[in-house]
Amino acid sequence: MKGKVQTVCGVVDPDVLGKTLTHEHLFMEFDVAYTPAREHERQLELCEFSMENLGWIRQNPYSHKLNIKLSDPPTTAAIANEMATYKKFGGGTIVENSTKGLNRNVNFLRELSKNYGVHIIAGTGYYVSAAQDKQTMKESVEEMVNFMAKELTVGSEECADIKCGIIGEIGCSWPLHDFERRVIKAAGEAQSTIGCPVMFHPGRHHEAPEEILRLYCEAGGSVSKMVMGHLDRTIHELDALLEFASLGCFCEYDLFGIETSHYALNLAVDMPSDAQRIARIRHLVDNGFGEKILLAHDIHTKHRLVAFGGHGFSHIFNNVVPKMLDRGISQDAIDRMLIHNPKNWLAFAK
């Protein structure tokens, strides 16, 4: 696998990937994120998607019980339609980050890839401890390593002839749960043996990314094959951002399209806008970290799909890239983020 990329349809050369979104979800159930609505709005938790309700759903995406499921037929049909649009607007590859605890469906991913000509890369591993069943919570580091290694080199749990192409997203909380510490260690051990790419979902605290990186590297994981996701909502001070980027992993801004400052999963944080994301990325580029930046939307709720009133998977291409150019980020730098950096990350090192 050295120098190659594992997709749900087989092994490919990294040069064929094209523009790549490195953190998306095409099939998942996000019940673990459910946040009860305020008492006087409880009747809206099961409301229909409509013009009258969409504003509330956008402000309270995790309180709307239908919104946190990307697994029902209307939603899978909407995602299939979006793959055609994504291809039309220049999309080449999507990395799908649903792991154990999120009800992944690799067969659906392969069907999408075959039908629409988009390379799709599936992730293996474990989401946060709160999403796991009792049996999974008991797994040892050795069992976790064996599970992930099998899905990367032999075949996935759901389908024996579909291999995963990354470890991740590995879900971490703040503070870390003992289960999550074992998963981080297992990810480092598996990566050191296989040479695969790894993606982390950090806890919602500015110290979480560095702690995860340290534990992963102590277990033998390669920092050059590691991505730290969700930096948009995690590290907000520019000096701290540069300090973290200097540690060597890929830095991912993957919440493009979320323009609501209210962040129900951490009320202490104001979710940045796309303009603020671009400003932080410009700061990284200007300070020499352009080769370590990755981009995505992390679509994980219905309301962000076009069919449900959202921006869809082509938002970065159609809306964010022009804004980046207006804000002084060069086309060469954008191409690094969307084409060159993803292929460098996704190619196996062994």
Residue 22 one-letter amino acid? T
5-26+81-301+320-346: CATH topology: TIM Barrel (3.20.20)
Neighbours of 2 (CB within 10 A): 8
Query: What pLDDT does residue 47 have?
Result: 98
Q: How far is the C-alpha of 264 from the C-alpha of 249, rounded, in Å?
A: 28
99 φ/ψ angles, rounded to the nearest 5 degrees: -125, -170
Query: What pLDDT does residue 324 have?
Result: 98
Specify which residues 20 forms β-bridges with: 93
Inter-axis angle of helices 73-88 and 106-116, nearest 10: 40
How far, in Å, are 97, 185, 218, 235, 255 from residue 214 at the CA level?
22, 10, 6, 17, 24
How far, in Å, are 29, 74, 271, 326 from residue 34 at the CA level?
10, 21, 18, 37
Q: Enter the tokens of residue 89.
A: 């607007």
70-106 residue pLDDT tens: 999 999 999 999 999 999 999 999 999 999 999 999 9
Q: Enter the tokens of residue 222.
A: 């390669």
Q: How far is the C-alpha of 33 from the C-alpha of 62, rounded, in Å?
A: 6
Q: Which of 273, 292, 254 lies closest to 94, judged by CA?
A: 254
121 φ/ψ angles, rounded to the nearest 5 degrees: -115, 125
Alpha helix segments (H runs only) across the chain? 51-59, 73-88, 106-116, 134-137, 141-153, 178-194, 208-218, 238-245, 274-286, 315, 321-326, 331-335, 341-346
Query: What pLDDT does residue 146 have?
Result: 98
Q: What is the DSSP letter of 70?
A: E
Query: What pLDDT does residue 207 have?
Result: 98
249-263 residue pLDDT tens: 999 999 999 999 999
Residue 109 makes CB contacts below 8 A (sequence gap 6+) with 8, 26, 27, 96, 120, 122, 162
* Ranges of residues in the chain whose predicted pLDDT is under 70: none
CB 143 within 8 A of CB 132: no
